């Protein structure tokens, strides 16, 4: 039961925390707690003494306090609606001109969630204060400290809105989106590709027993430590031949074992496999390559026709290639005693190169600027990869063909 809960949590954690509503909801709860604490402090002996000591903290009557809270609440609601509208415009523009896959990157941006959460929290705070102010309240019975804190929060919200205008105009720039996709993919590659020499490929021919997937989903890797513990517990060797980012249908062979195991053991092994509905760049660098490729392909489509953006995408891809050609993922994992326990298949450089550059090439091989960009970038990569040599030959032939026209 515990393993099932842990597996569910691993699968849905990023989906929950990455939601655009998660951080704003959490901040709103914090503001509600702050409002309750400030109200209690207002009515406490130290709060009463503070208001009596500092006469400028007094509010004359309840109507003034209610007017302040109402004005701030109405103003922040307007800012919230306007800010949400700008976010929706940015998401719509990114989806229509770049790729639907970059929406997650924009939605998960913590700063915009922080701003929206602060707005919503301010509204919650103001509404709570409004419910505590009664018509007959006078003098120290009015929660003046809470109202003055609300004024300070409202001023902070205005400055946040000014900076948010600058932030949202920068976030929609193509080079910023491409740079973020490149940075996320680079971090994922650095986490996965820890070897400086290419390891031998995993040999799974001896693994003749299969465990089939319990449900559909995108293969997003495994919980390595959990899988190692399970393999040691059942004294088995597990092989995974599917590549990250592959969509797995229910009932498809997912794990390969060296011996047969009871159903309970098979379920425990499957609990360590990450099979969400949507993959993540953090665990799957292939998804990052796919994002950049789709941006480049869409930029070269007749409807967009933006070779400049495609060139930026190619530069980002070749930076990743430069790292991937000299760093390799581990294919075999052993336990503490040195026994082989896990064998995994990974995307080779050739597969990544073919799925990215060749896909963009199909769209841009007749564009002179793309050809020159590819010629320049290919000339800087190592020449010991057959895919690079072949692609370089094709680009040079295309350039000669264009020059002869």
210-267 pLDDT tens trace: 888 888 888 888 888 888 888 888 888 888 888 888 888 988 888 888 888 888 888 8
pLDDT at 155 over 90: yes
- CA 92, chain centre distance (Å): 18
Lowest-confidence region among 171-180, 183-192, 286-295, 314-323: 171-180
Within 10 angstroms of residue 347's Cβ, the number of other Cβ atoms is 19
- What average pLDDT does the chain have? 81
* pLDDT for position 119: 92
3-state secondary structure of 240: strand
DSSP-assigned beta bridge partners for residue 248:
217
Question: Residue 123's pLDDT is what?
Answer: 93
Q: What is the pLDDT averaged over residues 169-196?
A: 84
Please compute Rg for the chain using Cα positions: 29
Residues linked to residue 332 through DSSP beta bridges, in sequence order = 343
Instruction: Compute the average pLDDT of residues 386-403.
Output: 69
Cα–Cα distance for residue pair 232/219, rounded to 1 Å: 23
Is it the case that residue 95 has pLDDT exceeding 70? no
pLDDT confidence tier of residue 105, bands split at 50, 70 and 90: low
Q: What is the mean pLDDT of residues 184-208?
A: 84
CB atoms within 10 A of CB 97: 18
> Using an 8 Å Cβ cutoff, are 168 and 85 in contact?
no
Residue pair 29/120 in contact (Cβ under 8 Å)? The answer is no
- To which H or E segment does residue 164 belong? helix 144-171
Instruction: Classify 129 as helix, strand or coil.
Output: helix
Task: Name the phi and psi angles at 54, rounded to 5.
Answer: -110, 95
Give the C-alpha separation, 281 to 18, whole Å. 13
pLDDT band at 296 (very low <50, low <70, confident <90, very high): confident
- Give just the sign of the alpha carbon dihedral 26, 29, 35, 36: negative
For residue 301, pLDDT over 90 is answered with no
Q: Give the C-alpha separation, 377 to 397, whole Å.
A: 16
Give the pLDDT of residue 175.
83
Query: What is the reported pLDDT for 287?
Result: 84
Q: What is the mean pLDDT of residues 123-151?
A: 81
pLDDT at 27 over 60: yes
In angstroms, how far is CA 26 from the centroid of its own chain?
18
Q: Produce one character per residue of 216-244: b if its CB has 16 or more CB atoms within 10 Å, e if not.
A: ebbbbbbbeebbbebbeebebbbbbebeb
Three-state DSSP at 328 gives: strand
Q: What percent of the chain has pLDDT over 70?
A: 84
Backbone angles phi, psi at 390, to 5 degrees: -65, -45
The predicted pLDDT at position 401 comes to 67
Residue 68, pLDDT > 70, answer yes
CA distance from start to end of the chain: 69
In the chain, DSSP finds a helix count (H) and a strand count (E) of: 15, 7
Closest CA to 344 of 170, 233, 220: 220
Greater pLDDT, 179 or 9:
179
| pLDDT, position 319 | 92
Q: Taking each helix axis as running N to C, give the angle between helix 386-404 and helix 349-364, from 0 to 180 degrees, rounded to the nearest 10.
A: 10
* Cα-based torsion angle of the residue sequence 171, 177, 180, 181 in order, rounded to the nearest 10 degrees: 150
71-80, 200-209, 340-349: lowest mean pLDDT where?
A: 200-209
Which one has a higher pLDDT value, 138 or 186? 186
Alpha helices in 44-143 (DSSP H): 45-53, 62-97, 103-107, 110-132
Distance of CA 145 to the CA centre of its chain: 40
Q: What percent of the chain has pLDDT over 90?
A: 11
Residue 120: pLDDT band (50, 70, 90) is very high
- pLDDT at residue 63 in the model: 82
Confidence of residue 9 (pLDDT cuts 50, 70, 90): low
Question: Are the beta carbons of 182 and 292 closer than 8 angstroms?
Answer: yes
Asked if 306 and 202 touch (Cβ cutoff 8 Å), the reply is no
Question: Model confidence at 333, in pLDDT bands (50, 70, 90)?
Answer: confident
Does the pLDDT of residue 12 top 80, yes or no? no
Burial of 107 (0-12, 13-18, 19+ CB in 10 A): middle
Question: Where is pLDDT greater, at 362 or 100?
Answer: 362
Neighbours of 200 (CB within 10 A): 7
**Of 69 and 140, the one with more pLDDT:** 69
């Amino acid at each position: 039961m515990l393993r099932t809960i842990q597996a569910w949590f691993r699968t849905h954690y990023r989906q929950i925390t990455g939601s655009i509503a998660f951080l704003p909801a959490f901040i709103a709860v914090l503001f509600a707690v702050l409002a309750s604490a400030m109200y209690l402090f207002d009515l406490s002996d130290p709060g009463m003494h503070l208001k009596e000591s500092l006469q400028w903290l007094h509010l004359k009557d309840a109507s003034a306090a209610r007017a302040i809270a109402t004005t701030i609440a109405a103003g922040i609601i307007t800012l919230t609606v306007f800010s949400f509208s700008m976010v929706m415009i940015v998401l719509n523009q990114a989806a229509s001109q770049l790729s639907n896959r970059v929406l997650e990157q924009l939605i998960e941006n913590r700063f915009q969630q922080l701003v929206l959460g602060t707005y919503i929290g301010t509204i919650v705070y103001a509404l709570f204060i409004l419910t505590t102010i009664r018509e007959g309240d006078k003098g120290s019975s009015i929660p003046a400290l809470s109202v003055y804190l609300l004024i300070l929060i409202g001023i902070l919200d205005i400055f946040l809105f000014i900076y948010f205008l600058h932030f949202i105009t920068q976030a929609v720039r193509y080079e910023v989106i491409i740079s973020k996709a490149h940075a996320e993919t680079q971090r994922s590659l650095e986490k996965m590709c820890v070897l400086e020499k290419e390891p031998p490929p995993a040999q799974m021919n001896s693994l003749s027993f299969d465990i089939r997937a319990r449900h559909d989903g995108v293969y997003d890797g495994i919980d390595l430590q959990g899988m190692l513990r399970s393999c040691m517990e059942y004294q088995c060797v597990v092989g995974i031949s599917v590549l990250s980012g592959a969509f797995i249908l229910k009932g498809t062979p997912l794990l390969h074992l060296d011996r047969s195991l009871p159903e309970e053991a098979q379920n425990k092994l499957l609990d360590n496999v990450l099979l969400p509905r949507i993959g993540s760049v953090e665990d799957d660098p292939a998804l990052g390559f796919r994002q950049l490729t789709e941006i480049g392909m869409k930029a070269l489509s007749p409807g967009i026709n933006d070779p400049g953006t495609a060139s930026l995408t190619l530069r980002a891809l070749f930076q990743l290639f430069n790292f991937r050609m000299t760093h390799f993922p581990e294919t075999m994992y052993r336990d503490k005693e040195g026994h082989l326990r896990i064998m995994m298949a990974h995307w080779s450089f050739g597969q990544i190169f073919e799925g990215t550059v060749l896909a963009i090439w199909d769209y841009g091989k007749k564009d002179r600027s793309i050809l020159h960009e590819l010629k320049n970038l290919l000339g800087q990569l190592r020449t010991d990869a057959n895919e690079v040599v072949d692609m370089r030959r094709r680009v040079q032939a295309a350039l000669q063909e264009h020059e002869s026209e």
